[in-house]
Amino acid sequence: MLFAIIVSALAMTLIVGVRYLLTSGGFAWLTRLIRPGLYEGLWPQIDREIRWSLYSAAIYGIPAGIAAWGWQNLGWTRIYTDISAYPLWYLPLSLFTYLFLHDSWFYWTHRWMHIPKWFRIAHTVHHESRPPTAWAAMSFHPVEAITGAIVIPLLVFFIPIHIAVLGLVLFIMTFMGVTNHMGWEIFPRFLVHGVLGKGLITASHHQRHHEQYNCNYGLYFRFWDRLCGTDEGVGSFTEPGPQK
């Protein structure tokens, strides 16, 4: 059993690592096409971001591998494949529930990691990306990686979710993690500054966190930032090249 769990963890580590390389690499290529020169002079930083991200992939792979093995072999989790097992209205509800709970966990652990002691220990690695690039989405110290790695694997033990919806959660997590760090805004202005933008986090909102550090802590939604008075609105982007 232990060997099978280890194999599952290694497989998930490989999946997370390849997903990171393909997604971040794809958006880095897109950045080169649409914002040529934006990452000029940042290659040492990007190399560091990739190394830390691959370390994080190994950490993310362990709980994911355990959960996957438990689901497939012992039925430990609440993941289901029969779409008729729950009403159809539960599909979007479960999606929102997972995203909201993930966002809530992220907000409060993120604020905790900005306490000076824990910032030095756990969060400095991520903020060494100045400005962040498409490669920075998983550039975490192991302590921070652990806080992020356990959320979804824990939720699947308690909250029913269809396997396809779980895949959508992971897609949104990956997509938002990368696009929020690209250094430019992928979404149209009418969305960012419109009604949806008042509740959703995009690169423009997260950029201000990387500029000021003490605001805009959320991952998907601006709910907790607005409720707790830490929402400072959207930020701006620098010209191509490294910040001084």
Tens of pLDDT along the chain (244 residues)?
Answer: 889 999 999 999 999 999 999 999 999 999 999 999 999 999 999 999 999 999 999 999 999 999 999 999 999 999 999 999 999 999 999 999 999 999 999 999 999 999 999 999 999 999 999 889 999 999 999 999 999 999 999 999 999 999 999 999 999 999 999 999 999 999 998 889 899 999 999 999 999 999 899 999 999 999 999 999 999 999 777 644 444 3
The pLDDT score that the predictor gives to residue 235 is: 78
Round to whole Å and give the CA distance between 17 and 179.
Answer: 17
Residue with tokens 């975490």: 140
The pLDDT score that the predictor gives to residue 236 is: 73
Residue 92 and residue 130 in contact, taking contact as beta carbons nearer than 8 Å? no
81 burial level (CB within 10 Å; 0-12, 13-18, 19+) = exposed
The pLDDT score that the predictor gives to residue 130 is: 86
Residues 6+ apart with CB under 8 A from 77: 67, 70, 71, 156, 157
The pLDDT score that the predictor gives to residue 243 is: 41
The pLDDT score that the predictor gives to residue 240 is: 47
Round to whole Å and give the CA distance between 211 and 104.
Answer: 22
Give this prediction's pTM.
0.93
The pLDDT score that the predictor gives to residue 238 is: 60
The pLDDT score that the predictor gives to residue 237 is: 73
